[in-house]
Amino acid sequence: MRPGPAYGYPHSFHSWHGPRRFVWFFIGAASATLWMKHKEAHRYPNDRYFGHCYRPAVPALQPRADATPPPASPDAPMSPTSSPPVSLPISSRAAEISSAVNHMPPASLPWGYPESHRERQWEEEKKKLQSITRQAEDVMTKISEATVDTMLTAMEALKVKLAEHRLQREEAQRELEKKLEEQRNVPHRFV
């Protein structure tokens, strides 16, 4: 008798499927991975595919209104009313590009303003923190006083209970002594 099931399809027990299962496993794993990456990439509409950084293109520098156009040819003489063309220094151009790319507003605050503003904010926050600390201290002292009061009342109640218990015990002791005296005074009768 052969090993395996005794009924129907005995050849299915001895089959070897070879690398086909691994191939299909890897195809399924790759497709699942790509699907998940696709879902992650399209989760936010403004993000680039597969999470690459996106930076807006650098706009071309616009000529300034106060700058005069360059002369038509280098040999052309300048009129007495025209001034030589004004070119921006490189650091100024770099600052304009940087602010245009990063969408930063132009710096309009005077020098020293941020430091004094920060100091003022620091002082305001210190005052807020001090007031919160003071309020917390007040609440904690109230809670502490209430706790001490409840503990004192509980102690007084325990003290009263102990005094009552002591009186009851002394009274029970006296009654027991009376009974013993009576039993000593009255002899036992033997019948």
**25 against 97, higher pLDDT:** 25
Rounded CA separation 92/98 (Å): 10
Structure tokens at 124: 């305001």
Rounded CA separation 13/7 (Å): 11
Q: For 73-125, how does the pLDDT look when each residue is reduced to its tens digit (9 = 90+)?
A: 555 555 545 555 555 555 566 666 666 556 655 555 555 566 777 888 899 99
Q: Which phi and psi angles does 25 have, rounded to 5°?
A: -65, -45
List CB contacts of 183: < 8 A, sequence separation 6 or more.
none
Is 177 a residue whose pLDDT tops 70?
yes
List CB contacts of 41: < 8 A, sequence separation 6 or more.
47, 49, 50, 51
Q: For 130-176, how does the pLDDT look when each residue is reduced to its tens digit (9 = 90+)?
A: 999 999 999 999 999 999 999 999 999 999 999 999 999 999 999 99
pLDDT given at position 15: 59
Tell me the three state secondary structure of residue 135: helix
pLDDT given at position 116: 74
Is 52 a residue whose pLDDT tops 60?
no
Mean pLDDT for 52-72 is 56
DSSP string over 39-74: HHHTSSTTSPGGG----PPPPPPPPPSSSPPPPSST
Q: Give the residue extent of every domain in the chain.
A: 20-51
Mean pLDDT for 56-70 is 56
Rounded CA separation 157/152 (Å): 9
Return the closest-CA partner of residue 49 out of 58, 40, 59: 40
HSE on the CB side for 18, CA within 13 Å? Answer: 1
